[in-house]
Amino acid sequence: MKLTYFHTKYLLNIISSKASYRKPILLITVYGWGSRAGKISKEILSKSGFNIIDLIELRGRLSKDVESRIKAAVKELVKPISENV
């Protein structure tokens, strides 16, 4: 478990140091045993200044409920882009 935690944290620290801050992002995580990766990801990226539209965590197959949450979050994510066109 700790190995996964450190890999996740390392990768997110690299992303947050290289990417532009204050960008809107959508986090989608898939887990088998627990949802720790999503919470860690949200915490690190929020502290780095990213605007997290939503954190969607799913376990196993994609349900209709999660699918509709993803579609709604994507609409929210692209809203500023479509307003500028």
- Sign of the C-alpha dihedral computed for residues 10, 16, 19 and 23 taken in this order: positive
Average pLDDT, rounded, for the chain: 84
Look up residue 60 and give its two tokens.
Answer: 């196993």
Q: What is the pTM of this model?
A: 0.75
- Alpha carbon 11 to its chain centroid, in Å, reads 13
Strand, coil or helix: 40: helix
pLDDT digits (tens, 9 = 90+) for 38-75: 888 898 899 888 989 999 998 888 899 999 999 999 99
CA angle at 56 for the pair 5 and 44, rounded to the nearest 5°: 40
Please determine, for residue 10, whether its predicted confidence score (pLDDT) is greater than 80: yes
